[in-house]
Every structure is written in structure tokens, then in C-alpha cells.
Structure 1
Amino acid sequence: MTFEQVMLFVVVPLCFIVGNLVIAPRRQRHIPMRIHLLSCAVGLVIYAMGMTILYLFFI
């Protein structure tokens, strides 16, 4: 894998997970953890579909 592929498919989703499951619950204590988990899962699925389409058709 090239550096760009690693960044697109590994590092960016990890940043997304850290933001949704580590930073957000500490700053927004009034929102239940299940909402943060759902938001993270939906966001990762949308990101994966978008990056796969982008990677297959445009790169």
C-alpha cells in the first residue's frame, strides 16, 4: 500500500473514531454513549462507501 492509501483507509478513520468515541463524550456528557457509537458507525460506513467509490473511479 502506498502512503496515500494508508492515509485514506487507515489513519483518517482512526481519527474519526477517536473524535467520536474519545473526545466527543468528554465534551458532550449530556449525550448518551449509544448515540456517539451510532454516529461513529454511520459515519464510518458513509466514509468507507465514499472513499471506495472515489478510489475506484477517480484515482
Structure 2
Amino acid sequence: MAKALNNLATGLNLTVRNVAAHTRDELTEQEGMERLAAYSYLARLLDQCEIRRAEEPEGT
């Protein structure tokens, strides 16, 4: 699941950054809302994650 979330976050970041950097066209309201929804979905998935930490070996 962690790899999938990382790939989703990377894809969202590349989509927004590349469009903003390589074109002067403004997003339509619909396109903006769709991108916002995608980030909202990613945030919801991250909020539902359970954090597990590896135990440190004794003596460290």
C-alpha cells in the first residue's frame, strides 16, 4: 500500500507541476476541482494509514 500511495502522490505532483510549468493556459474550474478532489482522496487515504515503526535493536 505504501508504494501505491507514493506512486499516486508522485503522479499528482507531476501532473500539477508539469502543466503549470509548460503551458500558459489556465485550468478550467472543472479541471481545478478534479485535481483538488484527487489530492483530497490522497489525503484521506493517508489519514487512514496505520503507522508502524520498526523496533530498534537493543543496545543502540
Bigger RCO of structures 1 and 2 (CA < 8 A, at least 6 apart): 2
Query: TM-score higher than 0.5 here?
Result: no
Q: TM-score, normalised by structure 2?
A: 0.41
Q: TM-score, normalised by structure 1?
A: 0.42
